[in-house]
Structure 1
Amino acid sequence: MGQILARITARRQELNLSEQALAVQAGMSKDGIRNWRRRHEAGEENAGANVSSISKVAATLGVSELWLLHGIGEDVHPTIAIAGKVGAGAQVPVFDVYPKGAGPQVECPPGLSPHGVVAVQIEGDSMEPVFSAGDLLFYTRHTHEGVPADVVGHRCVVEDEDGMGWVKQVKAGDEPGLFHLISLNPGANTMWNKRLRWAARVRLHWPAELARKV
């Protein structure tokens, strides 16, 4: 366990990630990693760590479980599938152009767990200066259909009733079931009172120059 904690510390410092932030992003309490260390120092063999929590910490750090547990193999980064492309302006956006999971893969950004996460690529320059062409947006759909209440007011990847994909700030519409889609670019048109198949909050924006496709 001491060697696992040492590898966690080394990788965490490479990512400039605090111990508390790592624990929270891995689905633990903010003192989760610290508690492992305390229990290890107290002589507990496994320090309260289990396979599930180790797996989540490895994913959050962007390393393989084998490397984290035993220091074997390379410090391999997991990948995330790119589902397609989205737009925000007048051009027709392309969305879900690849079969599920069959699109290009991009290396998972540090600090982001790949579990349940999908990426889309920005098409065109209609989202300047917030997002640029080629940038990647990562999101998680917690429901197959519908618009969860906690995404309203935030930047989201959405699919409208016509099957078009967009990146907009979602606002409540004038009637239940309708939504205003606010453009990120002040010069682009806002879409009023649209019905949506689903909406998912953008978890991370990754500039094109940092993305590593595999």
Structure 2
Amino acid sequence: MKGKFPNGLAEAMAEAGVGPTELERLTGITKQDIYKRAHQKARLTAEMAQAIAPHLGVSPAKLLGLREVAAFTVPLGGRIGAGGAIDTSTAQDQPGVQYEIETAVEVRDAAVAYQVIGDSMLPIFEPDTVIICRAHTQDIRQHIGRRVAVGTVDHGRQLKIVHQGSKPDLFDLISLNQAYPTLRDVKVDWVARIAAIIPADEWKILEREAEVQNQMRERLKKPSERRSKSAAEEA
């Protein structure tokens, strides 16, 4: 790359067939600002690269001219409550293959990821955060006093601190958010240690990238293919 402020924007725009006017509509960044970055007359910031990259089907690192890290994926097992109970009847109870979380950092012994629902009153577990967990285990007592992902019979999946209950096979689950009461003498199916946390904003970027890629694939279809799909939907 050559120029005062080298970057890979112009190349990525050409490969995707997306011009400054279209990028302005998609990102809200003015076409004048996009033109300056594409012609390396102004610095392409990390924030701009993150906003533009999904619409060109590339990573922010490629736009910035940085070395890309091989992606690491882990199955998404559904939702987990950070405060009160949640309805997991339509979510997967075990690690599945329908959805995956992608990270730039490999997490050793990762088994499953869960999307956090509710407010734990801790910034790292704000709503839509994704936690990556190690394998489920039924050895509950080894996790007494720890903050873990918990699967229960009557209260779904939750983020809790596990304490011993009134009987050997029952446990008290303490909420991270003190506004939620402690669950007493709960039957616990499994616990899983938290291995890594993906902040809410990064998880949302991954979701948005997937949506944009689907839109791009639809735009690249031949007109006859689009008409056939429309006719099938109307039928």
Identify the match of residue 161 of structure 1 among 150, 153, 165.
153
Q: Does residue 201 in structure 1 map to residue 193 in structure 2?
A: yes
**Which residue number in structure 2 is paired with residue 152 of structure 1?**
144
CA RMSD of aligned residues (A): 2.4
Aligned with 1:210: secondary structure? helix
Paired residues in the alignment total 137
Deviation at 1:169, TM superposition (A): 0.6
Structure 1 Cα separation of the partners of residues 144 and 161 of structure 2? 8
Q: Counterpart amino acid of 1:173?
A: G
SS of the counterpart of 1:159? strand
1:69-101 per-residue CA deviation (whole Å, 9 max, x = no partner) reads xxxxx7421211111001133353427714742
Does residue 107 (structure 1) correspond to residue 99 (structure 2)? The answer is: no
- 2:162 maps to 1:170: yes
Quick check: 2:74–2:111 contact (8 Å CA) kept in 1?
Answer: yes
Query: What's the CA shift string for 1:2-25, capped at 9, x where partnerless?
Result: xxxxxxxxxxxxxxxxxxxxxxxx
Amino acid at match of 2:186: K
CA contact (8 A) 2:150 2:158 kept: yes
Kindly provide the CA deviation profile for residues 94-129 of structure 1, in whole angstroms up to 9, marking residues without a partner as x: 27714742232111352513x54210001122x123
Give the C-alpha shift of residue 164 in structure 1: 1.1
1:128 and 2:124 are equivalent in the alignment: no
How far apart are residue 187 of structure 1 and its match? 0.9
Native 8 Å contact 1:170 1:179 kept in 2: yes
What are structure 1's unaligned runs of at least 5 residues? 1-73
Alignment of 1:30-109 (within 5 A): 75-94=69-88, 97-98=91-92, 100-109=95-104
**Contact 2:147–2:161, Cα closer than 8 Å, also in 1:** yes
CA distance in 2, matches of 1:94, 1:147: 23
SS in 1 for 2:192: strand
Identity of aligned residues (%): 27
TM-score, normalization by structure 1: 0.56
Q: Secondary structure at the match of 2:189?
A: strand
Q: Distance between the aligned counterparts of 1:112 and 1:92, measured in 2?
A: 27
CA distance in 2 between partners of 1:150 and 1:166 (Å)? 18
| Structure 1 residue ranges, 4+ long, deviating more than 6 angstroms after superposition | none
* Structure of greater Rg: 2
CA 1:154–1:93 in 2, change beyond 3 Å: closer, same or farther?
Answer: farther
**Shift in alpha-carbon separation, 1:108–1:75, aligned structure 2, 3 A:** closer
Assess, with a 3 A threshold, how the Cα gap between structure 1 residues 128 and 116 changes in structure 2: closer, same or farther.
Answer: same
CA pair 88-147 structure 1, distance change in 2 beyond 3 A: farther
Pair 1:141 & 2:135 matched: yes
Structure with the bigger percentage of helix: 2
- Residues of 2 paired with 1:168 and 1:88: CA distance? 8
